[in-house]
């Protein structure tokens, strides 16, 4: 999400930090800041917007220091602003902190330890700086351990202390960071791209380890402050590969980031069998006044809405219509104060979706936004917001934003049912259990052998001129997303059909030259989909089927199968779309396409 860099050594820290932040700006870019220690005082400079604004702000200052930390932000708690930009400091100004991730229990910590403190930002991070001051016992490292003991959530933290100006301390949990080893200098950054100009020797930090960086070297300690031995690795990537974390394209990197993104989307929102949103709360009375819900979105976000319809209707029993934003506003939809309009948008800036939101507000509807970007137009104008916290998505083809949108919709469906006190307690509990398993199960899915299987399929079908995707119910919804992904980056003509509709026309197009990708994971529709698959097989189509682990039937009548690990069947679309993302990626690669920036397309579509 955000970019972190830290330096201690003989150079001027300011230029090392700005240089490192420039390399990390792709990770987050709504504000940036640095903190250095000058004459035993912490000096902080920060600025909203691109890093260029910070450079401008400090260009005439004479900041000279051999130690400092820097941050480029992708907002989660609190809109982008100077005040919310990192580093954050303690009240006495003796500690400064940069943070990537989310401190889930920051409100509880404020109440328990910091009542009466004056906070200057809306962030969860500022709590960490205040706690360092509160717990300080004259030993920086021991104090950090005490603070870590009360934090919940995911974080990478780098901290400096004016009273111990020769060192910085860093740690991580569920959030990446890497150490750079130099001669008479030490570095830390959220990824290696920030280090490569200075060193290729790096050390990886394990969770729970405390890293103490000085100009004489880096010491790693465990929770009991005992020394931990570390191996030094040599980085062989060039700068471009480093930015992509060693992946060839941002799209593949973002597919692989999904397990971490899932953790963030769920973070702080599950309390036993209850869903809670920090951002808003709704009473049964408020929910019951909505007789209908519209979900309005474009492209991939619209496809996420198709899953959302099924989730909300099943769990909360409120009728849902899903609309393409560019159609919605021009067709005079029937809506009023008894309608909830849910807008979904990764960027939060898509012109058609913003226009639909405004149309809904004009009709006195409440609007709930599901978005990735804090402070975006959609987030600002909606009445309620659920952030998906997918982290910056750079590839034009959306992957982790789609799957985290689905997770947000499951959380919302359960939440609406829970607030309405509906009787489906067991069903909701099973869904929440499934959601909690997603990070682990999705990480297991993304193995070398699975990728090899997908590549085999890509080689087999990648030269086709037309590919059909079929499925029923939620399988159809993800088939639509699979076909969009394929046409968007590989330029193959691809269409998705409700499997039962084929025989009403499209089956005429199916021949041995039209491979079919069949999604067969929804158990309730399996038998019917299987019959439709046999219909296309009878027309000589080659079929790749996405199936449940343990399904021994389908392989008998298709050409290739790819398994989805066992998980609650209702949340399985989040996993079942991953092979579709991967097959599009590998087909596009085989065809030599420009994967991250497909022709004619843009990441954020701000024209109607």
Tell me which of 51, 301, 496, 498 binds ligand M6R, using CB under 6 A: 301
Total of residues contacting ligand M6R (CB under 6 A)? 16
Q: Which segments of 25-99 does DSSP mark as H helices, in order?
A: 51-58
Beta-carbon contacts of 136 under 8 Å, excluding residues fewer than 6 positions away, are 94, 95, 143, 161, 163
Active site residue 253: no
* Collapsed DSSP state (helix, strand, coil) of residue 425: helix
Q: Smaller CB distance to ligand M6R: residue 408 or 484?
A: 484
Active site residue 211: no
Q: Smaller CB distance to ligand M6R: residue 156 or 345?
A: 345
Tell me which of 78, 299, 333, 413 binds ligand M6R, using CB under 6 A: 299
Contact by Cβ (8 Å): 343, 353: yes
Q: How far is the CB of 327 from ligand M6R (least distance, A)?
A: 14
**Separation CA 358–CA 378 (nearest Å):** 9
Which window, 254-262, 340-348, 424-432, 462-470, contacts ligand M6R (CB under 6 A)? 340-348
Q: How far is the CB of 601 from ligand M6R (least distance, A)?
A: 6
Measured over the CA atoms of residue 567, residue 573, residue 574 and residue 579, the dihedral's sign is positive
Q: How far is the CB of 20 from ligand M6R (least distance, A)?
A: 29
Contact by Cβ (8 Å): 75, 374: yes
Binding mask 341-380 for ligand M6R (x = CB under 6 A): ----xxx--x--x---------------------------
For 304-460, strand residue ranges (E) read 320-324, 339-345, 366-371, 384-387
Contact by Cβ (8 Å): 68, 7: yes
Catalytic member of 314, 487, 537, 603: 603
Residue nearest to ligand M6R (CB): 299
Q: Centre a 10 Å sphere on the Cβ of residue 167 and count the other Cβ atoms it contains.
A: 22
Instruction: Tell me if 482 contacts ligand M6R by CB under 6 A.
Output: no
Catalytic member of 2, 298, 365, 520: 2
Instruction: Tell me if 483 contacts ligand M6R by CB under 6 A.
Output: no
Tell me which of 488, 495, 551, 596 binds ligand M6R, using CB under 6 A: 488
Beta-carbon contacts of 179 under 8 Å, excluding residues fewer than 6 positions away, are 170, 186, 187, 188, 202, 203, 204, 205, 211, 213, 218
Tell me which of 298, 435, 454, 479 binds ligand M6R, using CB under 6 A: 298
Measured over the CA atoms of residue 390, residue 262, residue 222 and residue 143, the dihedral's sign is positive
Q: How far is the CB of 399 from ligand M6R (least distance, A)?
A: 8
Instruction: Tell me if 605 contacts ligand M6R by CB under 6 A.
Output: yes
Binding mask 249-288 for ligand M6R (x = CB under 6 A): ----------------------------------------
137-166 burial code (b ≥16 CB/10 A, e <16): eeebeebbbebbebbebbbbbbbbbbebbe
Distance between terminal CA atoms of the chain? Answer: 29
**Residues comprising the chain, all counted:** 608
**Separation CA 357–CA 344 (nearest Å):** 10
Binding mask 65-104 for ligand M6R (x = CB under 6 A): ----------------------------------------
Q: How far is the CB of 587 from ligand M6R (least distance, A)?
A: 15
Q: Smaller CB distance to ligand M6R: residue 213 or 296?
A: 296
Could you say which residues in the range 381-410 bind ligand M6R, by CB under 6 A?
Answer: 396-398
Q: From 10, 48, 36, select the one nearest 375 (Cα to Cα).
A: 48
538-567 burial code (b ≥16 CB/10 A, e <16): eeebbbbbbbbeebeebeeebbbbbbbeeb
**Separation CA 325–CA 608 (nearest Å):** 10
Q: How far is the CB of 309 from ligand M6R (least distance, A)?
A: 17
Q: Smaller CB distance to ligand M6R: residue 298 or 567?
A: 298
Contact by Cβ (8 Å): 128, 97: yes
Output the CA angle 381-354-487, nearest 5 degrees.
140
Q: Smaller CB distance to ligand M6R: residue 243 or 488?
A: 488
Binding mask 523-552 for ligand M6R (x = CB under 6 A): ------------------------------
Q: How far is the CB of 385 from ligand M6R (least distance, A)?
A: 14
Q: How far is the CB of 330 from ligand M6R (least distance, A)?
A: 18
Q: Smaller CB distance to ligand M6R: residue 85 or 396?
A: 396
Q: From 153, 169, 73, 141, select the one nearest 107 (Cα to Cα).
A: 153
Positions touching ligand M6R (CB under 6 A) are 298-301, 345-347, 350, 353, 396-398, 484, 488, 604-605
- Provide the annotated active-site residues: 2, 603
């Amino acid at each position: 999400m955000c970019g972190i860099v830290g330096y201690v050594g003989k150079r001027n820290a300011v230029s090392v930090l700005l240089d490192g932040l420039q390399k990390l700006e792709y990770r987050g870019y709504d504000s940036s800041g640095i903190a250095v220690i000058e004459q035993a005082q912490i000096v902080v400079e920060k600025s909203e917007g691109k890093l260029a604004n910070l450079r401008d702000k400090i260009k005439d200052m004479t900041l000279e220091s051999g130690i400092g930390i820097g941050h480029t932000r992708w907002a989660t708690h609190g809109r982008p602003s100077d005040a919310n930009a990192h580093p954050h400091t303690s009240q006495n100004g003796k500690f400064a902190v940069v943070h990537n991730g989310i401190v889930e229990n920051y409100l509880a910590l404020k109440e328990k330890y910091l009542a009466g403190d004056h906070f200057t930002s809306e962030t969860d991070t500022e709590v960490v700086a205040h706690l360092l001051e509160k717990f300080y016992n004259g030993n920086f490292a021991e104090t950090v351990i005490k603070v870590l003991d009360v934090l919940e959530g995911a974080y990478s933290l780098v901290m400096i202390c004016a009273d111990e100006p020769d060192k910085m301390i860093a740690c991580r949990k569920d959030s990446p960071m890497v150490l750079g080893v130099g001669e008479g200098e030490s570095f830390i950054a959220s990824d290696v791209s920030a280090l490569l100009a200075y060193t290729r020797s790096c050390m990886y930090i394990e969770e729970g380890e405390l890293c103490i960086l000085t100009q004489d070297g880096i010491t790693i300690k465990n929770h009991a402050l005992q020394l931990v031995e570390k191996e030094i690795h040599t980085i062989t990537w060039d700068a471009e590969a480093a930015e992509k974390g060693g992946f060839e394209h941002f799209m593949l990197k973002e597919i692989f980031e999904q397990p971490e993104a899932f953790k963030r989307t769920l973070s702080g929102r599950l309390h036993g069998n209850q869903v809670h949103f920090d951002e808003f709360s709704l009473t049964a009375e408020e929910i019951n006044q909505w007789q209908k819900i519209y979900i309005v979105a474009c492209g991939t976000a619209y496809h996420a809405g198709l899953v959302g319809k099924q989730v909300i209707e099943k769990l909360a029993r409120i009728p849902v219509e899903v609309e393409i934003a560019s159609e919605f506003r021009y067709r005079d939809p029937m809506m009023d104060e008894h309608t909830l309009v849910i807008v979904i948008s990764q960027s939060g800036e898509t012109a058609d979706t913003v226009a639909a939101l405004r149309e809904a507000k004009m009709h006195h509807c409440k609007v709930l936004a599901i978005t990735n970007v804090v402070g975006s137009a959609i987030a600002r104008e909606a009445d309620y917001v659920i952030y998906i916290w997918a982290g910056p998505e750079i590839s034009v083809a959306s992957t982790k934003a789609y799957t985290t949108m689905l997770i947000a919709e499951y959380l919302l469906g359960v939440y609406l049912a829970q607030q309405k006190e509906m009787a489906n307690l067991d069903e909701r509990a099973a869904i929440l259990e499934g959601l909690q398993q997603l990070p682990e199960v999705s990480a297991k899915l993304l193995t070398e052998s699975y990728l090899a299987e997908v590549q085999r399929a890509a080689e087999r079908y990648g030269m086709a001129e037309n590919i059909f995707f079929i499925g029923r119910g939620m399988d159809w919804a993800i088939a639509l997303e699979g076909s969009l992904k394929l046409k968007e980056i590989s330029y193959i003509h691809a269409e998705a059909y409700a499997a039962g509709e084929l025989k009403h026309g499209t089956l005429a197009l199916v021949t041995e030259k039209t491979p079919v990708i069949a999604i067969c994971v929804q158990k309730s529709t399996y038998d019917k989909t299987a019959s439709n698959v046999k219909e296309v097989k009878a027309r000589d189509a080659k079929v790749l089927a996405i199936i449940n682990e343990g399904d021994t039937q389908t392989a008998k009548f298709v050409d290739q199968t790819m398994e989805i690990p066992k998980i609650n069947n209702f949340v399985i679309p989040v996993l079942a779309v991953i092979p579709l993302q991967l097959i599009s990626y590998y087909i596009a690669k085989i065809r030599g396409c420009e994967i991250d920036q497909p022709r004619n397309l843009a990441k954020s579509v701000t024209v109607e």
